[in-house]
Amino acid sequence: MSVMIKTAANDKTEYNMTFGVLACLAIVMVVAGHLGYAVLTVGDLFPYYSFHVPLFLFLSGYFYKETAQEAPLAYMWKKVRRLLVPYMLCNLAYGLVAWLLRANGFAMGEEIGLRTLFVDPFLHGYQFIYNYAAWFVPVLFVIEMMNLLMRLIGGWIVRKGRDEREETERTADILEWLYLAGSLAVGMVVVYLAIGGHVWGVYKAPGRILFLYPCFQMGQFYKKKLEKHDTLPNLPYFVIVIAIQVLLQIGCNGLAFSSVWCTGFANGPLIPYVTVVSGVAFWLRIARIAAPLVGEKGVVRYVGQHTFTVMMHHVMVFMLVKMVLAGIAAGTGFCADFDFAQFYSNIDYIYLVNGAEHFKMVYLAAGLALPLGIRYLIERLAIALW
């Protein structure tokens, strides 16, 4: 999300355009995924739902800085301001939207209350439905806090064991391996339990967090251990990654799974993490190739910096597109097959004019452009006024 990409800029370090492009690609995949639009799946070789939500955790983990452990309370407050406060304000706004639409015949979204405002966001995030894609934000916040606590405890144990001496580079290496291996072990246990039908009800919330937690550690592990070795030329790199993905497609019973509900794991506890690695590896190299071509400024960078905005609002933009089509259908007779019952009751209903699959591009473009366009105008207005 935008927060983790912007971290570099806020810390006065050089903007990482490769990861900016990767964030841009990731949010396009999220919006397209909610449309069932396989525009970036490489012929369904890399299904969005086999890696795209974990990709955001990878991005966040990459930009985590150990300086957070020197001032943990300041780090926590920064994350509250940048993640939870904007989320809660938007959540309240969408609660009001849901209330208004229910009063006009729509059957989606719950009533505003303490539970739907402050508890449900951490349990499932679907309370007001029109912002359901933002379920990821509270999960990210919890994972960032877990990571901070884990690293604080790890550092404390090492210092105690070494009689308060500074930990060596070797010790730091061992810790990083332990963080990744331990989180992967826990995540695989969660997948195993989910396959057995044990991750349900209230267990969904901790299940999704523990499943996604290793993906955050992958980002930090890549930055510290692997990035300096990521030098293989493009041709053999893509041959290896694509060959692995083809073998996965041939040997597995479908690669997609649901991160939000912790379901759909059809191939055992390990394969979901393998597809996360292969998907991230493929698109990370694409982003590296594209970074110098798109330049340091422009639309791609802006999208990569403001993924929170798109994540929060694109589902509502889909609704606005459908409202326009509903008005056309009701007023002109055009789009006569528009399903009003689905429109009023099913957030996932996507009407395609003349059944054309490519009309999804209209939703995709609107879901990206409208939230970002409004944000851009607000930013320009703020600059003009202040």
One pLDDT digit (tens) per residue for the chain, 386 residues? 444 444 433 445 678 999 999 999 999 999 999 999 999 999 999 999 999 999 999 999 999 999 999 999 999 999 999 999 999 999 999 999 999 999 999 999 999 999 999 999 999 999 999 999 999 999 999 999 999 999 999 888 877 665 544 556 678 888 999 999 999 999 999 999 999 999 999 999 999 999 999 999 999 999 999 999 999 999 999 999 999 999 999 999 999 999 999 999 999 999 999 999 999 999 999 999 999 999 888 899 999 999 999 999 999 999 999 999 999 999 998 999 999 999 999 999 999 999 999 999 999 999 999 999 999 999 999 888 87
Instruction: Specify the pLDDT at position 161.
Output: 60
pLDDT value, residue 156: 81
Q: What is the pLDDT of residue 10?
A: 42
Model pLDDT, residue 168: 66
Residue 182: predicted pLDDT: 97
Q: What is the pTM of this model?
A: 0.92
Q: Are 278 and 241 in contact (CB under 8 A)?
A: yes
Q: What is the pLDDT of residue 5?
A: 42
To 10 degrees, what angle do helices 85-102 and 307-332 make? Answer: 10
pLDDT at position 158 = 76
